[in-house]
Chain A
Amino acid sequence: MDMLAWSAVELAAKIKQKEVTVKEAVDAIFSRIEEKEKDLNCYVTLEKEKALKKAEEVQKKIDDGTLTGALAGVPVAVKDNMCTEGILTTCSSKILSNFIPTYNAEAVSALERAGAVMIGKTNMDEFAMGSTTETSAYGETKNPWNENHVPGGSSGGSAAAVAAGECFFALGSDTGGSIRQPASFCGVVGMKPTYGTVSRYGLIAYGSSLDQIGPLTKNVEDCAAVMEIIASHDKKDSTSLKREDTDFTSALKEDVKGLRIGIPRDYFGDGLDGEVRAAVLAAADALKEQGAVVEEFDLSLVEYAIPAYYTIASAEASSNLERFDGVKYGYRTEQFEGLHHMYKKTRSEGFGAEVKRRIMLGSFVLSSGYYDAYYLKALRTKALIKKAFDQAFEKYDMILGPVAPTTAPGLGKSLSDPLKMYLGDIYTISVNLAGLPGISVPCGKDQKGLPVGLQLIGDCFGEKKLLRAAYTYEKMRGDFGIPAFGKGE
């Protein structure tokens, strides 16, 4: 019995049927972690004792019928930018190296109420700024498919942990592709929900108007099950939406007949790797065979998404990260002369290069004399990009394309040229600007054996359509496997 090859939903069902216990599941995960973690570094913090204690509590509640949900008893990993009560939360930054939150992020509370067992906090790019998980102050995470490659980012630890069997599912956050891109690079499913669907309460903010929490899972069914649990209206998040349609698992049907799918020509131009293109177009053909109506169209404005995004995200980051000043929590420099010097020195020593780069850029574009030319210009561009999507969704139920232009780059290849790294976000970033939902589903491997992801983008509130198409595709594709386990049992 190789429990680790089971999906989260399968595991929960077997726990309910008393084939395995919650403790056995947690033990299996920790022996896997012991075996793989020294090579992969998926986690910043592991909480074995707490997890085992929790397992006992959850088992009792499952046995007495209080916990009956689809993920009760399942071990979960949480990205280290979500607050966890009494558990270190670092954002993979030195400046939060000793921060112990006094409360849980709402998404974490939701999982807890559903009986999921949190086993640790996953590694990420510092403050979610990066596309490789190499900007972490706690070492890079490696891609479980090939340890010479990055797992993607910023939710690289979460994606790698799911792919390596070091957890059954994970939470990530997506500001410009940070769930979908690592999911693609690690061969797992990742969803960025419509903005406002999952509460951001307790998510340490990067770009508040763009950030969304979402699941990283082994398959589409797990993705829908997690979505159903974490989507909720929350008074503690003023941008939280009231949605009635969060019964996401009802969308798990093999049926794409008549579904109108648009393929933006602009997503298949220069810069797209040939093997990625072939895998993604093959997936489109597969959906067509099942009765979807697939056609090409011009989305337009694609090349303006990255400059608009980096202006807006950096501006918001410079404001959001002002709170890290060495007073209320986290790191404080040792030697200083007066209050302002303490602030500056603390921040300069506490933040890494990429974070400082974005704070500087953000401060500049918001500064007097440049605010209109840069920041407002970017917000106007955002309005045009949103309009381009609105027009596309008048004709199509969803948009299909690649997640990233290439498969996972080699370790150490990306950080020397930040702008080039930013260009890798071209297919994911506009989804955040327009507040749309997007899902990444594995659709093939390149010659090196590295996974390729298929991206489906929906109109606002279109998650169910995305899940239905992704589920249909996944059933046709067959098992993708996880590294070292090969095909699931």
Chain B
Amino acid sequence: MANVISDETIEYVGILAKLELSGEEKEQAKKDMGRMLDYIDKLNELDTTGVEPMSHVFQVQNVFREDVVTNGDDSENIVKNAPEEKDGMFVVPRTVE
């Protein structure tokens, strides 16, 4: 395997991905990611000099509209989906002491 993923890399990617992996999951993730990157490295066979990265196939432009509410107020039903809510707001763990 050409791509060897270090413990540090897995830790760092775990932070970016907001995932807490168990020891076993980390080992598996190292293997899986290394193997996928080996495979993705195949793209290096292609000369892409001067080729613009294509994010969309069609010309996509920002779609603007007036900032006017058109869909009514559904906040009551929306917050009902929250694991915890209070007075129409989402409750999160305390972040400032």
Contacts and interface: CB of A to CB of B under 8 A. Distances in A.
Contact of A239 (B21, B51, B56, B78): B56
A379 to B, nearest CB: 3
A96 to B, nearest CB: 10
A403 to B, nearest CB: 21
B38 to A, nearest CB: 9
Contact of B21 (A306, A308, A348): A348
Interface string A304-322: 1011101100000010001
Contacts of B43: 304, 307-308, 311, 377-378, 381
Contact of B57 (A338, A344, A418, A435): A435
Interface of A is mostly: helix
Contact of A332 (B25, B56, B83): B83
Contacts of B93: 336, 338-339, 342
B53 interface: yes
B8 interface: no
A331 interface: yes
A310 B84 CA distance: 35
Contacts of A308: 43
Given A102-B78, A339-B95, A238 B62 contact: yes
A122 B25 CA distance: 29
Contacts of A99: 81
A268 B46 CA distance: 22
B74 interface: yes
B53 A196 contact: no
A419 interface: yes
Interface in A368-384: 374, 376-384
B69 interface: no
Interface string B17-56: 1111100010001001101110111111110100111111
Contacts of B16: 318, 363-364, 366-367
A327 B60 contact: no
Interface residues on B, range: 35 or more
B83 A330 contact: yes
A434 B54 CA distance: 10
Contact of B40 (A195, A310, A343, A384): A310
A195 B57 contact: yes
Contact of A364 (B33, B60, B71): B33
B84 A332 contact: yes
A32 interface: no
Contacts of B9: 364
A384 B48 contact: yes
A100 interface: yes
Interface string B70-96: 010010011011111000001011110
Interface of A: 98-100, 102-103, 195-196, 209, 235, 238-239, 241, 301, 303-304, 306-308, 310-311, 318, 322, 325-332, 336, 338-345, 347-348, 351, 356-357, 359-367, 374, 376-384, 386, 418-419, 434-435, 460
12 contacts: A103-B74, A209-B56, A311-B43, A332-B84, A338-B93, A339-B94, A347-B19, A360-B19, A363-B13, A377-B43, A378-B40, A383-B51
